[in-house]
Each structure stands twice: as C-alpha cells, then as structure tokens.
Structure 1
Amino acid sequence: MVRTPTNVHPCNNLALRKAARYLGATYDKALAPVGLRGTQFSILQKLSAHGAMTIGSLADMIAMDRTTMAANLKPLAREGLVTVEPSAADRRARIVTLTPDGRSRMKAALPLWRAVQTRFEEKFGADEATQLRASLEAVLDTGFEPWAE
C-alpha cells in the first residue's frame, strides 16, 4: 500500500496531467491507423466545423498558445492536410485552411474517435463524462492566472 504523507496536499495540476496523459495516449493509439494523433484530430475537426481561421483564433479555440499551435500545424501542412497562408487583409496573420485531403483524413478518423469516445463513456459513465467536460470547460472560464496577481 502506497501512503501519501499527511503534509502533502493533493495537486490539481498533477491529477489533471496524469488523466490527460492517460486519455491522450488512448486517443492517440485509436487514431494511429489513420496517421493522426489526438491533437491533430482536434485541429482538423475544429477547422472542419468552423472553416478557415487565423493560427491565433485556432489556438484560442483549443486553449493552446500560438507558438505551440504553429508547431502542431507543420506536420499537418507537410502532409497536405492543411494549408497555412498569409492573410490578404493582414500579411502578419496566417490563415489555416483544411484541405480536401485533410477533410478526408478527419472523416476516416471520425469512427475511430467515436469508438474510443464511446468506450470511455461506457467505462467512466456517460453522465460523469458530460460532467467532466463541463468541469474542465469551467476551469477555462475562471480567469485563474496566479502569475498575474
């Protein structure tokens, strides 16, 4: 039996990251047959649902910083799944667009994603999964930024 010292407080960050790594690896494994990782699928899915947008807007939508998003887009662009082009309105902004190949790959991945989503909800509970997603979304709405205080 592993004992936690009584003077150690539970860490929200550790609990969140452990669960994220566990679930992330599960989704990555499920999507591997179509050559996508979970983050890549999420990017393609957002572009499919919302259309072309700036890197910054896409990063905000996924709660990722712009630099990390740009790095995540590079392999997708190399594979021809997205294009990243300067904006006609503002040459500093880069517009990300889902290509036909990207849409096709995302559609091929969708049944694999649905299967792992369904398996998770069967094991964890559909209501609990809904509550988990709502709780995690609520974290984003807290404005919690301890470094800004």
Structure 2
Amino acid sequence: MARTADRKGLDPALREVLGSMDGQCNSFATRRAARYLAASYDRTLAPSGLRTTQFTILYKLALAGRSSISRLADAIAMDRTTLATNLKPLERDGLLTVRADDHDRRARVVEITSAGLRRLERAVPLWQEAQNRFEGVYGAEKAANLRSALRSVLDTDLDPWAE
C-alpha cells in the first residue's frame, strides 16, 4: 500500500524547491490561465454545440479548405494524437471529414463539410461575444500584447512533439 506523505514528512530541500515553484512555473501559469479563459469561451460558445478547441479546428479548416492532419496540428500547436482524438466527435457529427490523401494514401486529409460551415457561422457571433467580453474586462491593448507574447513562445526551439 502506498504511503502518502504528510507535510511533516516532506524533505526540507524538496519543500524549498516546491515552494519556489509556486508563482514561478511558466507551464502551470499558462495552463491555469488557458483553462480559465477556455472555460469562459466554452460557456459562451455552448449554444452552438462547440467547445473552444472544436471551434478552432473548424475555423482553421474553413480558412484552409482542407488540411493534412500534420499541417492542422502544426497550425493549432497540438500533437497529432490529441488532434485525432478531437476530430472524432466532429467527424461523427458530420462537421468534417477525414479521409486518405489522394496523393499519399498513408496521409490523412481533413475537410470541413457544409454542416461544419453552418455550425461555424452560428458560432462566430458567440466567439465574438466571448472575445469582446474578455477584451472589455482585460483590456484590448493588454490582450493584443498577451497574444503577441504567446505567439513568441511558439517561436522557441522547444520542439515539444519531436519524435
């Protein structure tokens, strides 16, 4: 049976490291803020039947027309396995199709359907409402600076999905 550590049993050196992490961990800070903000957008998008990630997939596909899974994963900074999982309910609901590429049968191509476009059209005003609400509370200039800072994170050489 696994023993749970109580506060008194925590090694002092480990306690110091863990304590210094609070408020310092970039990953935790961005994930916490992302979950908070995504939940707000999800709540606003709910009448459309889409969640934020689904909305993002559909709007990227609407702009691209069609995309390989790899290109789509790169466009939304998501690993291919997680993207494939997120595509399944959208495909099931007829909002997109996933098929083999005509030129390379090993590659998969994703395409938005007319039903997907109609759902996206219903969702865009809700997204705009969520966007306006956030920028109204947070500030439009601060929001633009935040987006710029977050885009620059994507320009690092961390390469999280390298094989």
Q: TM-score, normalised by structure 2?
A: 0.84
**Equivalent residue number for residue 112 of structure 2:** 98
The alpha-carbon deviation at position 85 of structure 1 amounts to 0.6
The alpha-carbon deviation at position 106 of structure 1 amounts to 0.4
Runs of 4+ in 1 over 4 A off after TM superposition: none
Distance 2:41 2:119 in 1: 15
The alpha-carbon deviation at position 145 of structure 1 amounts to 5.0
Rg (Cα) greater in structure: 2
Backbone CA RMSD of aligned residues: 1.8
Aligned mate of 1:57, from 71, 79, 83: 71
Q: Within 5 A, what are the aligned runs for 1:115-134?
A: 115-134=129-148
The alpha-carbon deviation at position 51 of structure 1 amounts to 1.2
SS at 1:80 equivalent? coil
The alpha-carbon deviation at position 144 of structure 1 amounts to 2.6
* Number of matched pairs: 144
Structure 2: unaligned runs, 5 residues or longer = 1-15
**Equivalent residue number for residue 57 of structure 2:** 43
**Equivalent residue number for residue 112 of structure 1:** 126
Question: Percent of aligned positions with the same letter in both sequences?
Answer: 54
**Equivalent residue number for residue 75 of structure 1:** 89
SS at 2:110 equivalent? strand
